[in-house]
Amino acid sequence: MISRPRAFRLLQIGTCGAAAALFLIEARTIAVDRLGEILFFTLIAALAFRLRVRYAGNFLGLEAAALVPAILILRSPGAAMAICAVADLAVKLLRRRRLSLASLFDLSQLALSYGVAALFFQAVRVSTQGPMALAAEAAAVLLVFYFVNTLFVFAYLEIGRLVPRERLLGMGLFQLVALLLLSPMVALEILVYPYYGILGLLLAFFPVVLASLVVRNFSSFERKYEQVARENRELDALRELSNVFAVGGRGDRYARLFEVLRKVFPLEAMAVIEWVDDPPLDFAVHFAGEVTVSRNAVADWVRSNRFDQNPPTPPGSPAQLASGEQRPLPLSGNCKYQVTARLTTFELETGVLIVESPFPALHDRSTVASLTLFAEQIALLLQDRTIRAQIQELSEKNRERAETLNQILEISNELKKHLTLDTLFQSIVTGVGRSLGFDAVLLSLYESGSDQFTHRAQSGLDRTWGEMQGREIAAREITQYWTDRNRVSKSYHVRHRESRDEEELFGVPGPRRPGPSAWLSTETLWIPLVAGETLVGCLTVGAPRSGLSPTVETIHALEIFANQAVTAIENARSYADAREQSARDGLTGVYNHRHFQESLQKEIGRAERRARPLTVLMLDIDDFKAINDRYGHPVGDAILQRIVAEIRSEIRGDMDLLARYGGEEFAVILPETPAEEGAEVAERIRRRIDERLFRPPDSNDILRVTVSIGLATYPIDAASKKEVIDKADAALYRAKRGGKNAVATTPGDADEGPTTVTH
């Protein structure tokens, strides 16, 4: 099948050949004795060609006013073809000074059409001709010329896709009306020529000149009107462009852009290559219309020409025109004409616009100038969109940063409260998860003595926390990843870890999202908690709610929070140590009288809520004053410390509370302990102390120290804190009065003697 461009070229060459062949055949009909008339009609035809005027998108064929009388008067097809060809050629050379194949086709098809019309006249003319017969023959010649010429023109325009198909019918009707309007003038020329000769024909031809001038004025008005209408269409299209990039989804934006441009330009295909801030791609390719080229081919063309790396062209630079096989990047096989414009502003270059059309009007100077203007507007809109996106992104980052800092401030204020360490640890991990967007957070404290990390608090790890809580991990299992390669700011970020053993801290995979920035299940971020040069612990975070690896800004926010957390931990530890010291007896290290009172009140409240008993022991060292008087207070202090050690060995260290009540007197709180068990504990303490021998420093004496113990149980013996202390103290004195070195309980009757146990 012959392609359209080849068929178009064959039509041009074939028409030229057919015209030449017909002229050679009919050249014998040229009468030498009529060369003067032939020259006259040639001059008249040249004037008519020169007077041709374009109106309503069509050329008004005034040459018929010279060539049809020549056909009827000279009666020679060869002469008519010669007159047409010579006159048209002279005018074309005067205008352009060179001939193209398209110009030769135009000349040939006119000469051929008038030659066929002359042959028709020879076939139908009669020997006796009256005025009506001549007028009829002139009209018939005009109609034959019209149909033959229209056939050639329609074939030429359709095969060459020079104008839209819907315009062909309008063009044909316009030419028919124009020829019908010329018919009276042609008839007048034929009728006056036999009587008045050349002068009469010139006078009859003069209305043609007037008609040309009138139509030329109309054409001038039409061009101005079309120019204004075109400018209005362009203004409307420019306004629509702003709407295209202001609203609507990204997917249909370029299809709508194409429809806007088609309202102004005869386009069939469009490609927009847009530079984007996406390192894997660098540019995006958008198609609209009848595009047959692939995106990969466009990408290869862009990379081979390095458009995104070339220095930007200044705004308003002329567009590049190409046609046929000369197009650097053919978008469609059905389009011949292409315009390529760089999308450039004074600030940056945003891409390339390529449009194609099957019609040569795309390469008109006015069309190219308008396309350049539209390219500048598109570049401005793309730049505006890019700047808006950057501003929005920056605003969003600033908003997120401000929100994050505000949340850090709120959490920091919360951490300033005198919280217990466990409560503080939980506040830290909860704050990181809630405020900084992580669904898994683990806080581990570092023990320098054992070189281990211990898990102390978590957020989002409830399912596995039973196994993880309190677990000790060798520091090297974590710090092996704390290398310069993994360092980000003051933290350590690992994307891939080969080992899946103990350092797999979370036990749950992270969220999966496609893309190079997605958070991986093997990914971990550690934020060391450092006070000065001392490692306090670390925060391990994972499973970001965004599904993406944290940015440097997020890591900086985590580090700010970590600094606040370290300060809070150190303050809480100092506060806990100070409070612990204030609650301790300086000599023995056990709790003091004040702390005993506070703790007993709390334990009584807990015992009441749980409906469980509580026993209090009051213990006094027998004859302690005599020891002090004889051996001195240092010996007495040593005995107090030894007594405390013996008591501690017989009570529950994680549950019971030992306090120095005053002087040589001590108190023990035994939660959830009934009277019988309390008596057994008291007896074990009494016996243990009784069985120990004490040697004072710098003395050969052996001392035997004993204690007396009284006890009372809540709520059996007493209903309040004061009452239980008083009852236990009263039992202690009964043990003293009963001979010392004894355990006494609260009696059921006031007259009943004390229950004592002695060795």
Q: CATH 3.30.70.270 spans which residues of the chain?
A: 583-745
pLDDT of residue 418 exceeding 60, the answer is no
What pLDDT shows up at residue 673?
93
Q: Does domain 583-745 have CATH number 3.50.50.60?
A: no
Which of 99-108, 276-285, 393-402 is least confident?
A: 276-285
At the second CATH level, the architecture of 4-236 is Orthogonal Bundle (1.10)
What pLDDT shows up at residue 430?
82
pLDDT of residue 255 exceeding 50, the answer is yes
pLDDT of residue 500 exceeding 60, the answer is no
* Angle value at C-alpha 163, between 157 and 168, nearest 5 degrees: 70
pLDDT class for 129, splitting at 50, 70, 90?
Answer: low
Q: CATH 3.30.450.40 spans which residues of the chain?
A: 248-390, 416-579
Contacts of 630 (CB under 8 A, 6+ apart): none
**The dihedral formed by the CA atoms of 63, 66, 68 and 73, expressed in degrees to the nearest 10:** -160
CA atoms within 13 A on the CB side of 686: 27
Q: CATH 1.10.1760.20 spans which residues of the chain?
A: 4-236
pLDDT of residue 699 exceeding 50, the answer is yes
What pLDDT shows up at residue 503?
40
Phi, psi (5° rounding) for residue 423? -65, -40
pLDDT of residue 752 exceeding 60, the answer is no
Alpha-carbon Rg for the chain, nearest whole angstrom, is 55
The better pLDDT of the pair 330, 563 is held by: 330
Q: Which CATH class is domain 416-579?
A: alpha beta
pLDDT above 90 covers what percent of the chain? 17
Residues linked to residue 544 through DSSP beta bridges, in sequence order: 438
What pLDDT shows up at residue 412?
64
pLDDT class for 429, splitting at 50, 70, 90?
Answer: confident
CA atoms within 13 A on the CB side of 13: 6
Query: Average pLDDT for residues 450-477, to the nearest whole number?
Result: 86
Which of 136-145, 507-516, 651-660, 661-670 is least confident?
A: 507-516
What HEC string does 587-640 produce? CCCCECHHHHHHHHHHHHHHHHHHCCCEEEEEEEECCHHHHHHHHCHHHHHHHH
Local structure of residue 63 (DSSP, 8 states): T
Q: How far apart are CA 175 and CA 190, in angstroms?
A: 22
What is the distance, to the nearest Å, from the Cα of residue 1 to the centroid of all Cα atoms in its chain?
48
- pLDDT tens profile 258-303: 888 888 888 889 998 888 765 555 788 889 988 988 988 888 888 8
Q: What is the mean pLDDT of the chain?
A: 82
pLDDT of residue 56 exceeding 80, the answer is no
Residues, the chain: 759
The better pLDDT of the pair 370, 390 is held by: 370
What pLDDT shows up at residue 233?
78
pLDDT class for 502, splitting at 50, 70, 90?
Answer: very low
pLDDT of residue 649 exceeding 80, the answer is yes
pLDDT of residue 506 exceeding 80, the answer is no
pLDDT of residue 613 exceeding 90, the answer is yes
CATH for 248-390, among 1.10.10.10, 3.40.50.720, 2.20.25.10, 3.30.450.40? 3.30.450.40
Query: Average pLDDT for residues 428-444, to the nearest whole number?
Result: 83
What pLDDT shows up at residue 753?
46
The better pLDDT of the pair 657, 750 is held by: 657
What pLDDT shows up at residue 565?
77
**Tokens 């598109």 — which residue?**
378
pLDDT of residue 734 exceeding 90, the answer is yes
What pLDDT shows up at residue 501?
44
pLDDT class for 682, splitting at 50, 70, 90?
Answer: very high
pLDDT of residue 57 exceeding 70, the answer is no
Q: How far apart are CA 525 and CA 74, in angstroms?
A: 102
CA atoms within 13 A on the CB side of 443: 25
Q: How far apart are CA 470 and CA 456, in angstroms?
A: 6
- pLDDT tens profile 147-180: 888 888 878 777 766 777 777 777 777 777 777 7
The better pLDDT of the pair 457, 570 is held by: 457
Q: In what order do the strands lie in the sheet with 438-447?
A: 472-474, 452-459, 438-447, 534-544, 524-531, 491-494, 487-488
Query: Average pLDDT for residues 421-437, to the nearest whole number?
Result: 78
Which of 198-207, 464-473, 487-496, 569-578 is least confident?
A: 569-578
